[in-house]
Amino acid sequence: MGKKTEELKKKSERDCLNLISLAKVKSAYAKNLLNVLQLNDIDSFISSERPDFVFENTTMNVGVEHCMIDSLYNEKLASHSKEMNTKIRKAVDKEKVNYSSEDAASFLCECIKQELDATNRFKYETFLNSFKSICMKHNMNAEAYREKLENNNKQTKIVCLIEIPLSFQNTKYMVYEDDNNHCLLLNSIPLTKGMVNLISQMSNFDYAIILTYFKEKKKKKCSLYIFDCKNIEISIGEQRIHLYDSFDYYYKLSNVVTDYNEDVHGITFNINASS
């Protein structure tokens, strides 16, 4: 991994860690655990590798390992968010501030089209397989993180921070439960029995945090759930989490065509597609 790539990776990890303090945490259970693990004081960490962050006080060492699971993961194109972030970064690096309004609008049209195409390709089974692959891979390494941080005079806790970036705000989902299905409007993603079951298998971690967010220009809307990997049922109950069997995006558009109009008032984007 090159130096620039490593720096971007570390910045991405730190940005996710920062989101913990911005998340809307309603449960007293979750707030208490974040406080016990020192994760409310995000500036107190020591930058590290394997695990990514270490928090220390007089009684406890806490290691935090970050991973990202794409909400629009596709088995052909892999991580959609990483692909889009790379594309946008390259465009910005190449053009800096020299983009004309026409170039910028054309670029954004293509980004919008790719977001909608990725939504159309989404399959819950593919998403869950990605969730399993990434979480189990990190779980295999977690015991080594614990050994690295263990101190006879302190407790050691290992936390997996699971980042799930969202492409759309107020997303409408179709959720499935037993033989029923219905629409659900969320600023997060529906949590499923399969996702939580996989977290319960992450035996080398003490806790796992699922953090979802939608990026806006001026603020980030985040949702956070924390799970005790050895007491999953308590975590579900205390945070009043409803679990579904699976989910899909309600609006799935194909044959997407995007263009734009520019006038004295600015640029208007037009989207044509079939459902």
Average pLDDT of the residues in 62-82: 69
Can you list the alpha helix ranges (DSSP code H) found in 48-100? 80-95
- Lowest average pLDDT, out of 42-46, 76-80, 139-143, goes to 76-80
Task: Please list the residues that pair with 68 across neighbouring strands.
Answer: 163
pLDDT band at 229 (very low <50, low <70, confident <90, very high): very high
**Residues 6 or more apart in contact with residue 127 via CB below 8 angstroms:** 69, 70, 71, 73
Locate all alpha helices (DSSP H) within the chain, ordered by sequence: 3-19, 28-36, 80-95, 101-121, 124-149, 193-200, 232-238
Model pTM score: 0.79
In this prediction, residue 80 has a pLDDT band, given cuts at 50, 70 and 90, of very low
d(CA 227, CA 196): 9
Structure tokens at 132: 């399993």
| Spatial separation of the C-alpha atoms in residues 164 and 247, rounded to whole Å | 15
What pLDDT score does 254 carry?
63
**Could you give the CA distance from residue 218 to residue 237 in angstroms, rounded to a whole number?**
34
Residue bearing tokens 């263009």? 259
- The pLDDT, as a whole number, for residue 113 is 64
User: Per-residue pLDDT tens for 90-149?
Assistant: 555 555 456 566 666 676 666 666 666 666 778 899 899 999 999 999 999 999 999 999
